[in-house]
Amino acid sequence: MTTVRVLDREGAGAAVDAVFQGLSPQSRYLRFHAPMPRLTASMRGQLVDLDGCRKAAVVAERGEQAIGIARLAAIGQGVAEMAVAVVDDWQRKGVGTLLVTALGDLATELSYTELVGEVLHENLAVLRLVRRAFPGVRLDRTEDEVIRISYPLTFTLTHEELVADLRW
């Protein structure tokens, strides 16, 4: 059975290493937006630097083996950037959905109001994932072929939107 839990700093290193090792060169490229044959000490340091608030993560595990990580990092008032990686053997088996849903819940608990991210335009699996997991997600293509994701964690309707909904 796959479980998802909040990742703490203590267990982050082993989880990050296991997930990175389970990614193919193509999956690493899609996650990091560049070729990543190995995880540099600097990048690993950034990924394991979790404080549980401004930088937080959830890990999916099968038994004691980490099979995916979703991470958030504060980038502004109430806004956090998200990223997700699932080892190749577990992709398209619901692990990504579990992770981003848990990350959205964690972000809400931490009082974030919006999750944002950037996805390469060819990463169709992640684009389908965020559409499925985050109804109403906004996707905007940039000039450099990156898709910007924006998902409000709190919904507010204007009077006009509410009236328009009632007319349907």
Q: pLDDT tens, 62-104? A: 999 999 999 999 999 999 999 999 999 999 999 999 999 999 9
Query: Using 50, 70 and 90 to split pLDDT, how confident is the model at 155?
Result: low
76, 29 contact by CB (below 8 A): no
The bridge status of strand 65-76 relative to strand 55-62 is: antiparallel
| Residue 13 near residue 79, CB atoms below 8 Å | no
Q: Please give the pLDDT value at position 161.
A: 56
Q: Which domains does the chain have, with CATH numbers?
A: 2-167 (3.40.630.30)
Task: Answer positive or negative: Cα dihedral of 134, 138, 139, 142.
Answer: negative
Please give the Cα distance from 141 to 164 (Å, whole number): 28
Which of 34-43, 86-95, 134-143, 157-166 is least confident?
A: 157-166
| Greater pLDDT, 146 or 136 | 146
Instruction: Count Cβ atoms below 10 Å from residue 72 Cβ, excluding itself.
Output: 26
* Residue 101: burial class (beta carbons within 10 Å; 0-12, 13-18, 19+): middle
Instruction: Tell me if residue 53 falls in helix, strand or coil.
Output: coil
Q: Distance between CA 102 and CA 104 in Å, rounded?
A: 5
- Give buried/exposed letters for 131-154 (b at 16+ CB in 10 A, else e): eebbeebeeeeeeeebbebebebe
Instruction: State residue 45's pLDDT score.
Output: 96
Query: Mean pLDDT highest for which of 47-51, 142-146, 164-168?
Result: 47-51
pLDDT band at 144 (very low <50, low <70, confident <90, very high): confident
Q: Is the pLDDT of residue 17 over 90?
A: yes
β-partners of residue 23 are none
What is the pLDDT, as a whole number, of residue 160?
A: 66
Q: Give the model's pLDDT for residue 162.
A: 57
| Two structure tokens written together for 49 | 């630097």
